[in-house]
Amino acid sequence: MIHVVWKAFWDYEKEEKWLNEMSAKGMALTGYSWCRYVFEETEHNQYAYRIELLENMPNHLESVAYIKFLEESGVECVATYTRWIYLRKKTSEGSFEIYTDIDSRIKHYKRIYATWNSLMFVEFTGGLANLIIGIVNLSIGENLGNFSYGNIAIGLSVISLGLIFYRLGLPIRRKIKKLEQEKTIRE
């Protein structure tokens, strides 16, 4: 039987944990699109799940080769969404870890951090532009139209969204610093 669950996650590790909890309940992920998870009933704990942010889109040659390599290793790509891939492996085949060394974990976290920073930059730029347009328009007597207060409101809203993206990136940055310190200690 197929089950659809609508759920939003900002933290991929929490999402990954939830997918593994669903697997423990006998629910195997079969598809994903924006906040929509499709599950199929299966044996309890049949699969272990991992989520990864690729360097390129899934249809890029490097990504296709990487996914093919994973599939040859017994890992199934269940779904893709933008650059995110949802992977599973049968638990009967042993443990399932994508990143076993510090360098690859740091690299993965840096890709995620760069994504949050890019979104933050876009929001701050758009918000600042709207604020400037609104303030300049008010100061010159609204000669450019009557949407000055709207520009200011939109600018503040978009800057607030940029602050949310900044906040979402902080835990990732802390993980990167912690792993870099751990790497330094080991060397």
Sheet architecture: strand order including 47-53: 47-53, 84-90, 76-81
Predicted local confidence at residue 71, as pLDDT: 95
Higher pLDDT, 179 or 141: 179
Predicted local confidence at residue 44, as pLDDT: 95
Q: Is the pLDDT of residue 187 over 90?
A: no
**DSSP letter string, 102-133:** HHHHHHHHHHHHHHHHHHHHHHHHHHHHHHHH
Split at pLDDT 50, 70, 90, the class of 143 is low
Mean local confidence (pLDDT), 158-163: 96
Mean local confidence (pLDDT), 168-181: 95
Distance CA 37, CA 93 (A): 24
Predicted local confidence at residue 144, as pLDDT: 57
| pLDDT tens digit sequence for 33-91 | 999 999 999 999 999 999 999 999 999 999 999 999 999 999 999 999 999 999 999 99
| pLDDT tens digit sequence for 27-41 | 999 999 999 999 999
Percent of the residues in the chain that have a pLDDT greater than 70, as a whole number: 97
Mean local confidence (pLDDT), 152-164: 95
DSSP classification of residue 33: E
Token pair 């994903």: residue:
32
Predicted local confidence at residue 94, as pLDDT: 87
pTM for the complete prediction? 0.85
Mean pLDDT of the chain: 93
Q: Is the pLDDT of residue 16 over 60?
A: yes
Predicted local confidence at residue 170, as pLDDT: 95
Distance CA 125, CA 162 (A): 9
For 18, the token pair is 């939830």
Predicted local confidence at residue 145, as pLDDT: 61
| pLDDT tens digit sequence for 114-134 | 999 999 999 999 999 999 988
Q: Other CB atoms closer than 10 Å to residue 168's CB: what's the count? A: 17
Give percent helix, percent strand, percent coil of the chain, each to the nearest 5.
55, 20, 25
Higher pLDDT, 139 or 161: 161
